[in-house]
Amino acid sequence: MITVNEKEHVFHLHNGRMSYLFYVMDSGQLGHLYFGKELRSDGSYLHMVEKAHRPMTTYITEGDLYTSYEHLRQEYPTYGTSDYRYPALEVQGTDGSALCKLEYQGYEIIPGKKPLPGLPATYVEDPAEAETLEIRMRDPWRGLEAVLSYTIFRDCDAIARSVRFVNKGEKTLFLDRAMSLSLDFPDADYESVQLSGSWARARSIVTRPLPPGVPAVSSMRGNSSHQHNPFLALKRKHTTEHSGDAYGFSLVYSGNFLAQAEVDNYNVLRVMLGINPFGFRWKLAPGGEFVTPEAVMVWSNQGLNGMSWQFHALYKNRLARGYWRDRERPVLINNWEATMFDYVEDDLVRFAQKAQECGIELFVLDDGWFGARNNDRAGLGDWKPNPAKLPNGIKGLAQRIEGLGMKFGLWFEPEMVNRDSDLFRAHPDYIIQTPGRTPSHGRNQFVLDFSRPQVVDEIYNQMYALLSTAKISYIKWDMNRSISECYSASLPADQQGEVFHRYILGVYDLHERLIRAFPELLIESCSSGGGRFDAGMLYYAPQGWTSDDSDAIERLKIQYGTSLVYPISSMGAHVSACPNSQVGRNTPIETRGNVAMTGAFGYELDLNKLSEEELKAVKQQVVFYKQNRKLLVQGAFYRLLSPFEGNFAAWEVAEHDGSRALVTVTRILSEINGPYRRLPLLGLDPDRKYHIYSKYLSYEAYGDELMQFGLMLEDQASGQVIEGSGGSGSCEDFRSLVYEVVGM
């Protein structure tokens, strides 16, 4: 999959569908040539290099008025040697100079893919699945070596990139910017697509044209954030969900990030992705190393949905890992929205008993079970059960839940502490705070300094004590505030720029240690409902709580946007009570169930408070989900109608062989006397006959009809209640149906 033209020094990564080409310039730096649909592996491509004499340009060599880094497409640019755009690398020496020039030294092709030490990354199980190209660069004056790593996958149109820096000189260096990926496109005639929002409305799809300048999304919060996701896509203006070129860039990292697209005065586009340079400075002593997080870039000529397929396939199968990667996830119920902090053990058992009667498999005890935790002002950091609530401890409660035939799960917020806690009283220096400054709080809590190994050890030991003595099958890992006053008492002044990154490494380390100690433990990343819903966490937690907003209609946008990058198997999605506690909306329980089923399914309410009719609906939902969860976890996901663009949302999950599909259609607001509607499907066998049925509809059609003419959506009333219509004449708002399409 990697071809090297030794004569022209051109490197060609290709897998039968996609090509990526770059070359070594005469000056020793790397130049970019092409990224897109596969080109011939035996072609000559140096003529793609474009040079011209430009006024007000700084040139590399005296007498040469054509060669300038400012106007050459580069592979990993540095600043200060004729390129005035943002660089991928900034390094400063003890002399104060920030000039750096990396020169090519050699390459190596490696079967398979190496892990990244201490960092999440994609992987392979068979070396034949991928090939890795390592390019060794060096600044001879600085003594800085940079090893650029490119992995191309056989079965996925994706390339994973990272960079390893080694100080082979005799003087200390400081990395001020070390991006994971830089890519220069020959033109900027694209629209950018980002996932942005806030708490309870994260990952909305935002599309905009690329003007001259530097559009960017980022986080400086210490976590990847609700506000922006570490992802950026580019699409041509004519590209749709299912046709046209689309490029996606995703960072496998959970901390501060920067994703930017710089358009220069000649309409050349430079995309960069990596750790946010703001607040970052890494001290590289002689012999020291630094490895950037992994960035994944994908290409598709089948639109944004095709781009998503590449991410889904790679992240579902070669980023998520371990015991739960390929297993069907249990249907769970969480007590938080039902009880908040107000419960005792017998209440929880009654809560779980009703869930077990409905076929639910996992009971999750949320916040409030530990320390002096009766509100959000105390207890964090003291991971020991509260005997007033749980007289038999977590072990006793877990035994009672297991005795019902259910699994038991537990909520933690390992990275946080309250002032009113034994941990804080014993170790007030364990929090992140700047000396002489008053630390800010969020939700009455402070951030533990996970850049310090002894702090991580303290929390690990507490969690291990519980997990090793009680039967706990699942943990919900929450994180309810970002980092402020970033400073670590354990680091000297010239290493304070490392705290943000070292913190995330500590978070990863705690996850890794728990997974190794308890390999069958299912971890769900919560982070205040999506504040760290990123590819980095997917490596440790195969599912994440998608949003604290559990309203089904709000979730249409949240889950639709999330699916741009992340597989639906990773999205925690629950049926909550009505009126909804976030927005006060009343939504039919069928709609709540239909929307939540396209994810890791569960409930967030007290089943004892439901009517008999609602309980019947819950039991039917649980049975239906269990019958179909293998398809929902492993099938191909298609976005059909966007809730960002109209009154309907629709998506489809189909078997890869086209034998079967589930289609979810939700009408947000009722309409009066609306038109007939048909929904073209995807991923079916055109020559196969299918049986289509929903709650009110049943007919047969061939795949070609369903994909060309479309699935006929039933709504006989079109906004008018018709007596005797048997339900199909419903004119209610927030109406959803699931259509089963089964090959005959």
pLDDT at 693: 92
- Classify residue 654 as left (phi > 0), alpha (psi -120 to 50) or beta: beta
The 10s digit of each residue's pLDDT in 520-537 is: 999 999 999 999 999 999
Look over the chain and give the mean of its residue pLDDT values, rounded to a whole number. 95
Whether 548 sits among the annotated catalytic residues: the reply is yes
Residues 651, 665 contacting (CB under 8 angstroms):
no
CA–CA separation, 45 and 107 (whole Å): 19
Whether 217 has a pLDDT exceeding 90, the answer reads yes
583: alpha, beta or left? (left if phi > 0; alpha if psi -120 to 50) = alpha
Q: Identify the burial level of 170 via C-beta atoms within 10 angstroms of its C-beta, where 0-12 means exposed, 13-18 middle and 19 or more buried.
A: exposed
Convert 369-391 into a string of H (helix), E (strand) and C (coil).
CECCCCCCCECCCCCCECCCCCC
Average pLDDT over residues 402-417: 98
Q: What is the pTM of this model?
A: 0.96
Look at strands 10-14 and 18-24 and give their pairing: antiparallel
Percentage above 70 pLDDT, the chain: 98
- Looking up tokens 């990926």, which residue turns up? 181
Q: Please state the rounded mean pLDDT for residues 130-155.
A: 97
Q: What's at 185, amino acid-wise?
A: F
**List 382, 478, 549, 551, catalytic entry:** 478
Instruction: Check residue 721 and give its pLDDT.
Output: 59
List the catalytic residue out of 83, 157, 548, 549.
548
Give the 3-state secondary structure of residue 317.
Answer: helix
* 156 close to 317: Cβ distance less than 8 angstroms: no
Note the pLDDT of residue 719: 57
Quick: pLDDT tens for 672-687.
877 888 999 999 999 9
Query: Between 68 and 405, whose confidence is greater?
Result: 405
Q: What is the pLDDT of residue 671?
A: 82
**Could you write out the DSSP letters of every residue in 244-261?**
B-EEEEEEE-SSSEEEEE
Tell me, what's the pLDDT at 62? 87
Percent of the chain with pLDDT over 90: 91
Six-digit token string for 706: 């369903």
Pairing, β 543-545 against β 522-525: parallel
| 314 has pLDDT over 90 | yes
Active site residue 26: no
Query: SS3 for 17?
Result: coil
What is Dmax (Cα atoms) for the chain?
88
**Distance between CA atoms of 499 and 490, rounded to whole angstroms?**
10
pLDDT the model gives residue 51: 86
Model confidence over 473-502: pLDDT tens digits?
Answer: 999 999 999 999 999 999 999 999 999 999
Q: What is the pLDDT of residues 595-617, one digit of tens each?
A: 999 999 999 999 999 999 999 99
Average pLDDT (114-141) is 97
As a whole number, mean pLDDT of residues 94-120 equals 96
Question: For residue 415, which of 455, 375, 385 has the smallest C-alpha distance?
Answer: 455
Mean pLDDT of 76-99: 92
Q: Quick one: pLDDT at residue 228? A: 98
- DSSP conformation class of 546: -
| 718-733: pLDDT as tens digits | 556 555 555 544 568 8
Mean pLDDT of 557-573: 97
